[in-house]
Amino acid sequence: MKYLLGEKLDFDWKILTVTVASTLMLTLDRYHQWTSQKYLDRFILYLFIPLLIILVLFREDPRGYGFSFGDWKLGLSLTVIGVLIAAPIIYYFGRGDEAVRAYYERFLPGLPWSTFLDLFGWEFLFRGWILFAYARKFGAEALWLQAVPFAIAHIGKPEVETLSTIFGGFAFGWIAWRTKSFIYPFLLHWFIGTFVVLVAAGVV
C-alpha cells in the first residue's frame, strides 16, 4: 500500500529491515531458549543473523557496521578510561545493593567466557548493526536511537542498572561512533558484565 491517509509512505528498506529484525530478535530472545545456555542463543541470534543479513540481503561489507578494529589506539584508550570509571561504581553497587547481588551472583559459573559470548553478539547488535545503519540515515541521532531499545532490553534486571542504561548505551555508542568499531564498547561491557558478577558473588 503506497498511501495511507493521503500521504505517501516512503520507507528506507534497510532501516526498516534493521528495525523490524532487531525487534523480533530481542523479542524471541525474551520468550525462547534454543540451546543449553542463554548466552549461546544470544551469540548466534545477535551476531550471525545480522551478519547474514548484511552479507546476503544488503550485499555489504560488515566493516561498514563496525565489524573491524577501527581506530584501535583511541579504542583501547577509551576502554581503559571506561574501566577506571566503571570499576568503583560497580564495586559500590555490587556490594551494597541487595538486588544487584541477588541477580548477578548466580552467573558465576562459566565466567569469563559466558559473558564473552553473551555480550559479543549483544554489542554487535546495538553498537554495530543498529548504530551504523541508523547513522547513515539519522547521523549523530543514532547514538540515542540505539540506546532506547538497549535500555528497554534491560527491563527485569536490577532497577539501578536499568535506569542507567539509556546513558550507558549512549556512552557505548559514542565509543563505537568515534572508533568506527563495536569492539571497544564490547571490551568495556565484557569487563563490566564479568566484574559485577565477581563482586556480587563476593569473589573480589
pLDDT at 5: 55
Determine the Cα–Cα distance for residues 184 and 36; give it in Å rounded to an integer.
Answer: 28
Report the C-alpha dihedral over residues 105, 195, 179, 130, rounded to 10 degrees: 0
Q: Is residue 1 scored above 50 in pLDDT?
A: no
Tell me the per-residue pLDDT of 51-83, one tens digit each, with 9 for 90 and over.
999 999 999 999 999 999 999 999 999 999 999
Determine the Cα–Cα distance for residues 50 and 43; give it in Å rounded to an integer.
Answer: 11
pLDDT at 204: 86
pLDDT band (50, 70, 90) for residue 97 = confident
Q: Is residue 38 scored above 60 in pLDDT?
A: yes
| Strand, helix or coil for residue 156 | coil
Tell me the per-residue pLDDT of 128-165, one tens digit each, with 9 for 90 and over.
999 999 999 999 999 999 999 999 999 999 999 999 99
- For 98, the grid coordinates are 541487595
| Strand, helix or coil for residue 135 | helix
Contact 43, 25 (CB under 8 A): no
